[in-house]
């Protein structure tokens, strides 16, 4: 195991591995483990010395859950990045330091299978899976945790000793609750994951090529670009209404429309364009007609004609393509689940925010397709309870300089609060909204200045599953060693 102090020239190479440079770790020691035994040793040393410790996989945590100065020990899991098939357990094993791109590549080239995980290939597996990650294949195949067979986790017992626990979804497994907690409970809560095991429930046999979903051989990758020039407020409202309405009408599982995944990128007016990003299985019957009909439905009555470009891509090339970075580095994010389309007054608030001349940074409001197979799972079967949503919603402000931090964060907070003004500034679970998503962490949910709903953050993220998560926390992390600003509190 590599252990680096701040005086080591390699130290800054690892501390700067953060998607959001507002929160950069400066621990007393940074561990780079290569095995579960090394993770155990590092954890036990930190606990013995009374040092707060945290863990990082890909470095894409959006809020201050890892870079907090309170953490004096950081375990960077990036060196544990292998994927293989375990014939004895009949499951694929993935280490938490792998990126999604590496995971997709290894599974597809090795066995022509995949897991329905996210759209950003640089994101680390570790936190993405634990938070209940989703992606372009989720409307067909569910969330990535719907295929999670087991987890190997380094925990800390009552005596303060590090202990490695293998937990599976088998009903007779005494550690089954620990597996369940990692199906959406979020990273850094119960211990340090050293292995994820994947096998689709209900499959039989031991042929690895039949134990996980197969992706389509090819996909249509389409961008429909709507110019802000000439787009009126009425046209903007119509565009968002059309998009939301299509997903409300086409989120049932098992239908041909489940082969299509889209994301509507609402950028600020200064960015000149709004983007509709679409992926659909080009080998499915009627694929081109589905694509054309979808674009026509979203474009109807908008008042500006989109510029549409489509390529027929190999699936793996598409899944691992890294889009060029165009946003400034410093960010603040907020998110939510939608059970129904936003109301017209809410869409008008989106328009006002995205055309605000006083805001100098960038902002993206991102509607991502959801539903389909995701919604066939009981809300208590996994730790992520949002199982009847039709869209994910993500607000992301970004700006280049630290001098703009306070003003930019404040701007996004007020923007988001206005959009969800009918429920106290948060997407409180009701007939229209379904709370928040732990992989879009937002510590404002704990602050009554921004969460005026009276609904605790734990309900926003975990709903009825939170008490069970607390019991798992108490059983496997009785001293609350693994904690951060949005961590599970022990029962």
Q: What is the pLDDT of residues 394-424, one digit of tens each?
A: 999 999 999 999 999 999 999 999 999 999 9
Going by pLDDT thresholds of 50, 70 and 90, the confidence category of residue 465 is: very high
Q: Poorest-confidence range of 62-71, 126-135, 220-229, 437-446? A: 62-71
Q: Read off the tokens for 143.
A: 């969330």
Residues 343 and 311 in one domain: yes
Query: Catalytic: 437?
Result: no
Residues 184 and 243 in one domain: no
Of 197, 215, 233, the domain-final residue: 215
Same domain, 269 and 317: yes
Return all residues near 425 (Cβ < 8 A) that are at least 6 apart. Answer: 416, 417, 450, 451, 452, 453
Written in H, E and C, the secondary structure of the chain is: CEEECCCCCCHHHHHCCCCCCCCCCCCCEEEECCCHHHHHHHHHHHHHCCCCEEEECCCCCCCCCCCCCCCCEEEECCCCCCEEEECCCCEEEECCCCEHHHHHHHHHHHHCCCCCCCCCCCCEHHHHHHCCCCCCCHHHHCCHHHHEEEEEEEEECCCCCEEEEEEECCCCCCCHHHHHHCCCCCCCCCCEEEEEEECCCCCCCCCHHHCCCCCCCEEEEEEEEEECCCCCHHHHHHHHHHHHHHHHHCCCCCCHHHHEEEEEEEECHHHCEEEEEEEEECCCCCHHHHHHHHHHHHHCCCCCCCEEEEEEEEHHHHHCCCCCCCCCCEEEEEEEEECCCCCHHHHHHHHHHHCCCCCCCEEEEEEEECCHHHHHCCCCCCCCCCCCCCEEEEEEEEECCHHHHHHHHHHHHHHHHHHCHHHCCCCCCCCCECCCCCCCCCHHHHCCCCCCCCCCHHHHHHHHHHHHHHHHHHHHCCCCCCCCCCCCCCC
Residue 462 annotated in active site: no
> Residue 90 is encoded by which pair of tokens?
């009949």
Q: What is the pLDDT of residues 280-312, one digit of tens each?
A: 999 999 999 999 999 999 999 999 999 999 999
Query: For residue 171, how many C-alpha atoms fall within 13 Å in the half-sphere facing its CB?
Result: 1
Residue 18 confidence (pLDDT) above 90: no
List 108, 275, 359, 440, catalytic entry: 440
In a domain, 488, yes or no: no
Looking at the fold, whether 210 and 69 belong to one and the same domain comes out as: yes
467 in a structural domain: no
What's the mean pLDDT when you consider all of the chain?
Answer: 97
Asked if the structure places residue 305 within a domain, the reply is yes
Shared-domain flag, residues 201 and 263: no
Tell me: do 183 and 307 sit in the same domain.
Answer: no
* Percent of the chain topping pLDDT 90: 96
- The torsion angles phi and psi of 64, rounded to 5 degrees, stand at -85, 65
- For the entire predicted model, the pTM comes to 0.97
pLDDT of residue 470: 98
- Residue 206, domain extent: 1-215
Within a domain: residue 64? yes
Residue 135 has pLDDT above 90, yes or no: yes
In a domain, 246, yes or no: yes
Q: Give per-residue pLDDT as tens, 362-397.
A: 999 999 999 999 999 999 999 999 999 999 999 999
For residue 123, being part of any structural domain is answered with: yes
- pLDDT band of residue 439 (cuts 50, 70, 90) is very high
210 and 305 share one domain:
no
Q: Are residues 83 and 226 in the same domain?
A: no
98: its two tokens = 């792998």
Residue 403 CA to residue 408 CA, distance in Å, equals 10
Catalytic residue chosen out of the listed positions 366, 433, 461, 466: 366
Predicted local distance difference test score (pLDDT) of residue 326: 61
Residue 483 has pLDDT above 80, yes or no: yes
Is residue 476 a part of any domain in this protein?
no
* CATH at residue 256: 3.40.462.20
Q: Are 18 and 57 in contact (CB under 8 A)?
A: no
Residue 163's DSSP bridge partners are 155
Per the structure, the count of domains in the chain is 2
Q: How far apart are alpha carbons 114 and 219 in whole angstroms?
A: 15
Among candidates 413, 414, 410, 464, which has minimal Cα distance to 434? Answer: 464
Are both 27 and 78 inside the same structural domain?
Answer: yes
Q: What is the pLDDT of residues 174-209, one digit of tens each?
A: 999 999 999 999 999 999 999 999 999 999 999 999
Same domain (yes/no): 182, 233: no
176 and 286 co-located in one domain = no
Give the domain-ending residue among 215, 234, 264: 215
Average pLDDT over residues 148-166: 97
Summarize pLDDT for 304-358 with one digit per residue, the tens.
999 999 999 999 999 999 887 666 689 999 999 999 999 999 999 999 999 999 9
Residue by residue, what is the 3-state secondary structure of 392-409? EEEEEEEECCHHHHHHHH
Q: What integer pLDDT is reported at residue 325 of this predicted model?
A: 64
C-alpha atoms less than 13 angstroms from C-alpha of 209 in its C-beta half-sphere: 4
Of the candidates 415, 407, 421, 368, which has an alpha carbon nearest to the alpha carbon of residue 391?
368
Within-domain flag for 166: yes
Task: Clarify whether residues 289 and 414 are in a common domain.
Answer: yes
**Tens digit of pLDDT for each residue in 78-102?**
999 999 999 999 999 999 999 999 9
Q: What is the CATH number of the domain that holds 106?
A: 3.30.465.10
As a whole number of angstroms, the distance between CA 390 and CA 369 comes to: 7
């Amino acid at each position: 195991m590599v252990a680096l102090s701040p005086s080591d020239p390699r130290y800054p190479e690892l501390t700067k591995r953060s998607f959001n440079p507002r929160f950069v770790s400066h621990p007393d020691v940074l561990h780079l483990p290569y095995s579960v035994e090394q993770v155990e040793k590092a954890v036990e040393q930190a606990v013995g010395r009374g040092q707060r410790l945290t863990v990082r996989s890909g470095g894409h945590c959006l809020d201050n859950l890892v870079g907090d100065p309170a953490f004096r020990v950081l375990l960077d899991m990036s060196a544990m990045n292998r994927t293989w098939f375990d014939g004895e357990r009949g499951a694929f094993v993935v280490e938490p330091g792998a990126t999604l791109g590496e995971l997709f590549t290894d599974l597809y080239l090795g066995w022509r299978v995949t897991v329905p995980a996210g759209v950003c290939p640089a994101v680390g597996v570790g936190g993405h899976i634990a938070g209940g990650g989703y992606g372009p294949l989720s409307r067909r195949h569910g969330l990535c945790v719907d295929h999670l067979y087991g987890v190997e986790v380094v925990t800390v017992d009552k005596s303060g000793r590090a202990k490695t626990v293998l937990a599976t979804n088998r009903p007779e497994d005494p550690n089954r609750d620990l597996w369940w907690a990692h199906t959406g409970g979020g990273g850094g809560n119960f211990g340090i994951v050293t292995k994820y095991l994947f096998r689709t429930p209900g499959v039989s046999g031991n042929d690895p090529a039949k134990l996980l979903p197969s992706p389509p051989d090819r996909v249509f990758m389409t961008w429909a670009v709507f110019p802000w020039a000439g787009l009126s407020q009425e046209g903007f409202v119509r565009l968002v209404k059309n998009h939301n309405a299509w997903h409300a009408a086409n989120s049932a599982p098992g239908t041909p429309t489940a082969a299509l995944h889209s994301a509507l990128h609402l950028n600020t007016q200064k960015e000149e364009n709004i983007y509709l990003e679409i992926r659909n299985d080009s080998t499915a019957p009627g694929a081109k007609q589905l694509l054309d009909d979808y674009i026509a439905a979203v474009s109807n009555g908008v008042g500006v004609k989109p510029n549409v470009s489509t390529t027929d891509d190999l699936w793996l090339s598409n899944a691992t393509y890294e889009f060029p970075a165009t946003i400034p580095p410093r960010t603040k994010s907020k998110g939510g689940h939608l059970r129904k389309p936003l109301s017209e007054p809410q869409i008008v608030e989106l328009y006002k925010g995205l055309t605000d001349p006083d805001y100098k940074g960038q902002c993206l409001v991102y509607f991502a397709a959801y539903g389909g197979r995701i919604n066939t799972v009981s809300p208590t079967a996994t730790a992520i309870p949002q199982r009847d949503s039709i869209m994910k919603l993500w607000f992301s402000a970004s700006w280049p300089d630290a001098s703009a931090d306070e003003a930019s964060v404040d701007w996004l907070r007020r923007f988001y609060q206005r959009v969800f003004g009918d429920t106290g500034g948060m997407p409180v679970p009701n007939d229209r909204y379904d709370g928040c998503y732990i992989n879009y962490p937002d510590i404002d949910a704990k602050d009554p200045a921004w969460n005026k709903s009276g609904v605790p953050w734990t309900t926003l993220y975990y709903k009825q599953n939170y008490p069970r998560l607390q019991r798992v926390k108490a059983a496997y992390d009785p001293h609350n060693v693994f904690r951060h600003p949005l961590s599970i509190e022990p029962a």
